Amino acid sequence: MGMTITEKILAKASGRSVVEPGENIWVDVDVLMTHDVCGPGTIGVFKREFGADAKVWNSEKIVLIPDHYIFTADERANRNVDILREFAQEQGIKYFYDITDKSNFKANPDYKGVCHVALAQEGHTRPGEVLFGTDSHTCNAGAFGQFATGIGNTDAGFIMGTGKLLIKVPATMRFILNGEMPPYLLAKDLILHIIGDITVAGATYRTMEFAGVAVEKMTMEERMTLCNMVIEAGGKNGTIAPDETTFEYVRSRTNQPFEPVYTDPDAKFYSNRRYDVSQLEPVVAQPHSPDNRALARECSNVKIDRVYIGSCTGGKTEDFFHAAKILKGNKVKVPTYLVPATQKVYEDLFKLKYSEQTLSEIFLEAGCIEPAAPSCAACLGGPKDTFGRMNEPEICVSTTNRNFPGRMGNKEAGVYLASPYTAAASALTGYVTDPREFLS
Ligand code: SF4
């Protein structure tokens, strides 16, 4: 019987030749990631269940990434990072991306920033492997043909002690994206379009596998944007077949061997959906749900108070590159916040050029607020002093992934999720704006 990418990875990780959707199986874990918000809880579960002096199952397979509430005076948030540090030292954790000097993040060469982008940039997202993380957007790494999904602190504490987890094999929904990608569309438009079609519960506990010519032509960062948001449709994980684009990205970041797997021609799918991307238009997800889709041009009367470009979904180097393309030579009409996902992305803003100017020069000339230190920042609201947090009931166009009430701070605030093109175009007009107005 043929199997999908997800079924093959889980079969291998459970030591079986075949698995079927719905089966409960024990899998061996290749990577466990946790961050400052869930790490202390996970460590607490591990110590309670395995003993105060217990040792983790493998100190080289656990990745600790402080990223959420870093640049804040909030004492409890700061204490969470200290707990990660103490645990990393006690257990000899190899991959701990620490920050000690918060006044100058650049003085912390180990500090990365947002976990999902950091995992990819540091070579932890390898085809054919199993990655669990205490964060719902761990599905981001499905872009590499890895089985990657978010789990709670209890499961993560159990993995810390055993390196195993019992999970149910998800059925796979396939999304075939064919056609020529129009120059005004980005992966964010495609995933918002799909979620609008299937709703926020449309893929509950299923794999969303993306295939087709449009996906094959995508860069790794665009593929990440697709997989990052499968959780917004309830998906267990996302997958994309690894190819040369994947191998080039991964091999330039790690020497660890990996074995890619591929969906068989006779694999069974829960459903098949086909899209001709050449027919799609720029979209937004209106408040207060990622499936509340509308065409960007249909919202042109929506006046906005700010724009936010950042997060694991929309704060990667290419996302800023896309924003710069629109902003170059123009002036923003609303406060425009820029939060690079990682330290590497931050450096890129000051190094990479679009049409003779660095991205940061373009942004500053356009009147954007200076790029912030890399972290999750206001994507998840955070403590009151978080950069870019929505402390007032304002309207924001954001490249982030979730717009439920209160997600970016104030419960009355309204967040329009959009691509970097649409976000940048909206910054220039002060209204939700179709980016075609600025892309010649
Ligand atoms: S950037 Fe936002 S979505 Fe991504 S990990 Fe941080 S809080 Fe979660």
Ligand 1 centroid – CA 376 distance (Å):
5
Q: What is the mean pLDDT of residues 235-244?
A: 98
Residue nearest to atom 2 of ligand 1 (CA): 379
What's the Cα-to-Cα distance from 53 to each of 21, 50, 360, rounded to whole Å?
A: 38, 8, 48
User: Does ligand 1 come within 6 angstroms of the Cβ of 137?
Assistant: yes
Ligand 1 centroid – CA 234 distance (Å):
16
The answer, yes or no, to whether residue 142 has pLDDT greater than 90, is yes
* pLDDT recorded at residue 131: 99
Q: Are strands 237-240 and 353-354 parallel, antiparallel or unpaired?
A: unpaired
Residue nearest to atom 6 of ligand 1 (CA): 376
| Interatomic CA distance for residues 217 and 211, integer angstroms | 10
- Ligand 1 atom nearest the C-alpha of 136 is 8
Residue nearest to atom 1 of ligand 1 (CA): 311
- The candidate with the shortest Cα–Cα distance to 217, out of 190, 180, 184, is 180
| Interatomic CA distance for residues 386 and 399, integer angstroms | 17
Residue nearest to atom 4 of ligand 1 (CA): 312
Ligand 1 centroid – CA 4 distance (Å):
28
Q: What is the mean pLDDT of the chain?
A: 98
- The candidate with the shortest Cα–Cα distance to 5, out of 178, 210, 191, 215, is 210
Structure tokens at 367: 């009147």
User: Does ligand 1 come within 6 angstroms of the Cβ of 380?
Assistant: yes
Q: Tell me the backbone φ, ψ of residue 28, rounded to 5 degrees.
A: -85, 135
pTM (global) more than 0.85: yes
Question: How does residue 110 score in pLDDT terms, banded at 50, 70 and 90?
Answer: very high
Question: How does residue 1 score in pLDDT terms, banded at 50, 70 and 90?
Answer: confident
User: Does ligand 1 come within 6 angstroms of the Cβ of 379?
Assistant: yes
Ligand 1 centroid – CA 401 distance (Å):
8
Q: What is the mean pLDDT of residues 17-31?
A: 98
Pocket test for ligand 1, best of 80, 379, 415 (most atoms within 8 A of CB): 379
Within 13 Å, how many C-alpha atoms sit on residue 142's CB side? 32
User: Does ligand 1 come within 6 angstroms of the Cβ of 439?
Assistant: no
Spacing of C-alpha 125 from chain mean position:
12
User: Does ligand 1 come within 6 angstroms of the Cβ of 174?
Assistant: no
Q: Largest Cα–Cα distance of the chain, in whole Å?
A: 63
- Ligand 1 atom nearest the C-alpha of 341 is 1
pLDDT tens, 296-333?
A: 999 999 999 999 999 999 999 999 999 999 999 999 99
